[in-house]
Structure 1
Amino acid sequence: MEDGLASSVNRMADALSMHELRTLHFLCSDLLPNTCVEDLRGALISLAQAAGNSHSTRMILTELMFHLKRFDILKKVLGTSRQEVESMLESRQVLSRYRVLMVDLSADLGKDELHSLVFLLSGRLPRVKLESASSFLDVVTELEKLDDVSPEKLDLIEQGFQDIHRVDLVRKIQMFQKKGTPRKHLDHNQETKRGVCSPTSPPPRLTVCPIVQTKGSSLASKGLKMSVAETGVHCQQAPEEYIMETIPRGVCIIIDCVGCDGDMLKQTFQHLGFKVILHTLLCLVDTHSVLRVLSRSPDLQKSSAFVCCLLSRGSETHILATESSGPGLSLVAVRQLFDAQSCPALKGKPKLFFVQIYAIQEAHVWSSQIDECLETDDWGPSGCSNWQTDAVKTIPVSADVLSCVCMTDAQLLDRRGHQSVYWEVMRSTLLRFHGRRIPLLDALTEVNRAVCEYSQRNANESYSISLSHTLRKTLYL
C-alpha cells in the first residue's frame, strides 16, 4: 500500500503547478503544521499513512484534488469523478470548511481586485509582506499569524470585500457564518476513526456594499469596480455618510515645504468647495506652530470637514519641512493635533491628511521636542487608538481620520519643473469624481492604481502609497 500511495502522491505533485501546490499547502495547514511547500510531497505521504487505512488515504487525496479543481487527476490517478466526490462530501469532509472557503474566495478574486483589496485591507502587515503576496491566500496566511483572521474572525475580510463591491464574496462569508463556526480541528486520526467531518461543501456562487484601519503598498490595480448600484441586489439600508452641507465645505491647509505643487493643490480644493490656507517653505517649528494655531481656530467649528496637505522631505513617519536633517515632526503628532481630544470642533467630522514625502537617503530623523510635548494616543500595531467615552456618545479619539501618504525619492526635486505624479493624479481623480457620488475610498484606490502604473512604466521615478483610515461613514468629496 505504501508503494502505491507514494506513487500516487508523486504523480499528483508532478502534475500540479507551484500555485496549486501553495493552495494545497494552505488547505492542509491544519493537518500539516510547520510544513513548507517544498516538503509537501513527503508530508502528504506521512499524512495519508497516518490515516491508517487505504480508504482514508484515498479520501484525503480525493478531497484535495477536488478543491483544487483538478478533476483530471481525480479521474486518471484516483479513478473517481467530480460527481462522485460531490456526493461523498455531502456526508463526510476532512478539510477545514474555513480553509475551503478561503480557497474558494481566492479563486473568485481577480488580480486587479486582489491589488485593490491589498491596498485597502493590509494595514497590519509590513510592506515586505505585501510586496511578496501573490495571492489572496498569502494575505490570509499573514493575517492569521497576527490573529486578525480565523474561522471565528472574518470581519476584516468581509469589510474588504464590501469596499471593493464584491457582493457575491460577502454573501459567501455570511453563508459560512450562518451555518455556524466550525469546531476546532481535531487530530486527523481521531476524525478518521470517529467519522467526524465538516458537514457541507462550500456554498455555491451567488452575486455589496469602509474599513476600520487599512494601509496598503503600491500594488497596481486596473479596472477597479467603482461605487455604482449593484443590479438586482436589494440593499436593506443605505450606508451612513458624512454630511457636507456647510459653505465652504471645510478648511484645507496646504504646507508646501519643497516649493512645488502648492498652488495647484490650492486651486483643486477651492474647486471642491474648501476654504484653502497655503503656506510655503516653512521651517519645522513654524510648520508645527501653524498647525497648532489652526487646530484652535473657530473656523473649524463651522466646517463639515478638514483637509491637511503636506509636501516635505523626510521619512515614512516624520517630515523635515525645510530642514535637510535633524529632528522631524511625526505624522502621528500632526494627526493628534486635530483629533477629538485636542480639537473638539472636529469631533465626528472627517479629517483628511494627504502627504507627499520626498525620502532623503540615510536621513537621520528622530523624535523632536515638538513630538515629546504632545499628548499621545496609543496607535498600536493595528493603527487604531484607544476608545474614549463622554457622557453623550462614544467615539474613538482618533476616529474619522484618513491618512494617504506617498513616498518618492528626494532626488526628483533636483529636476527642473518637477511636479509630483501623486498630486497630479490626485487632482485629476478628485475633480473627475466630484459631484458623481463616488466614495473617497474608491477615488483613492483609483489614484493608487494610476500612480503604480506610472511607477512601473518609469523605473527611475518610483512612487509608493500607504493608506490608513478610521472613517466610520462613507465620504463623498
Structure 2
Amino acid sequence: MTRCQVPAFLIHQIQEELDKEEEEMMVFLCRDLAPDLANADLKEILLALNEREKLTPVGLSELLYRVKRFDLLRRILNTEKATVEAYLARSFRLIPDYRVLMVEINENLEKDEVGSLGFLLRDYAPRMKMAKDKSFLALIIDLEKLNLVAPNQLDLIENCFRSIHRIDLIRKIQTYKHKASVSSVHCQPVYVNAHQASLPNFNLIEPPYHSGIQNESTEKLQNGSSLTLAAAEPLHMSIEESGSVPHKMSDDSYRMQSQPLGICLIIDCIGNDTDVLEETFRGLGYDVHCHRYLNMSSMNQTLLEVARWQKHKNCDSFVCILVSRGNSQSIFCTDHTFSGFPLEQIKKYFTADSCPGLLGKPKLFFIQSYVVPENEQECTCLLEVDGNADNIRAKVTIPHAADIFWSHCKVDVSTLEQSPTSPSKYLRCLAELLRNPYKRKLCILAIHMELNKKVYDGNMTADPSQQYSLLLQHTLRKKLFFPLDCC
C-alpha cells in the first residue's frame, strides 16, 4: 500500500455504515472518477479507485462530507467537518461541482416531485425506462446516457423544475452556471458546495491552493496513517454591494429575498388588531391585504380567491392572520354558529396541491381565537366549502403538508367582553418581536419561544379566566429568518 492509499478495512467499515440511499449518492459522486465501473457497487468502486491511487484519505473524507455523514468523519477518519470544509475551500476537490449540485438537488426533492419529473421527462425521452420508484439521481444517469443532461447542458432540468414550481432549484442551477463561467474566465477553481450553491450574492472565488509546511496541519487516522489538510483558516466571503443578503442564509434556511416577501392576508373579525399587524408585516416587506368583519361565506370566498393568485409564484412565503370568536376547531367570523368555519380547511387552501405557487415555501398562520362557551353557541348548519373537506370536524392536528407554521392562541371570549377595544396580547407581543431588529436575528421557532415567554409571563398576573394558551404546530423543513433590513 502506498502512502496516499486508504487502508482497505476503512473502506469496508465505511461501506457497512452507509444506507442504500447514501451508497447511491456516493456511487453517483464517483461516476466520473471511474467511468468503466458504471455498474459496479460502492465497495468495488472505492477499492478500484484506491488501487489506481485516485482515492486518498482526503478524498474519502470529501465523499463522507458530500453525503453528510459527519459522524463517520469523526469516528472512522478521526477528522472534523470544519477541517474538511477548510480544505475544500482552499484546494482542488475530488468530486466535480456538477455531481455535488445534482446530489444536493436530490436531497431537496420530495418523492412525489421526483415522480412528476419522471412523468414530464417522457416528452423528452419517451424510450427512457420510468420505474415507479426511480430516484432523481437515477433519472439524471438515464438522461446523461441519452446525452440530454451534462455539466454544461442543464436546460432540460431547469424546464422541468419550472413546471413543478421549484424556482429555488432553478436558482441553484443558474448559480452553478455562473460560477462555472467565472471559473473558466479566471482559470482557477471555484468551489460551490452544498450550502454555497444557494448563495447568489456571495463571491466564492478563493485564491489557488498553495501547499506549504507552515500552512498545513496533520490529522491521524485510527490506523496511524496521516490525513493532511489545509489549516482551518477563516473563509473570507465578500458580499456584493448590490442587493441585500439575508443572514444565515444556507441550504438549511428558506429563501426570504423576494420583493414583496409574500402575501400577508389579515382577516380581523374583532377589529382591534388590524392596524398594528398591517404596519408590522408591511414593514417586513409583505404585500398586506386586510379584511375586517367578514362572515363565513365572505371569508371562504376571500381565502379561495387569495389561494388562486398567480403572484404566489414570485414570492418566497405566505402569511395568514385570523382574529375571530370561535371554538377549539373552528372560527365563527361575524356569524355565531355552532359549527363555524373549520380551521383545518383554512390550512388546506394553501397546501401545495391547492396552491402550487407556494410549493416548497413557508406558509405561516397566526390564529387568535376568542373561545365562546358551548352553552352560548348557536347551533346552525355547517358552511359548505370548496375543496377536500373530509374529516373537517376532527381536531386540528399537525398537517401532512410540508412547510406550514401554525400558531394558534386561545383565550376566553370574556376577555373581549371586559375590554371590547383591547388588542390581543398574543398578537401585540408578536408584532413587538417582529419589529425588534435584535429578535429578527432569531429563526421563527426561536421567536415563537420568546412569544410564549411573554404571553405566559403575562398570564401569571392575570385572572385565570383571562389567561391565554398557545399551541404551535409546524412541518417546516428548514430554518426561517425574516430580513434584517426592514421595519
State the TM-score, normalizing by the size of structure 1.
Answer: 0.46
Give the number of the structure with larger relative contact order, counting CA–CA contacts within 8 Å between residues 6 or more apart.
1
The alignment's TM-score, normalised by the length of structure 2, stands at 0.45
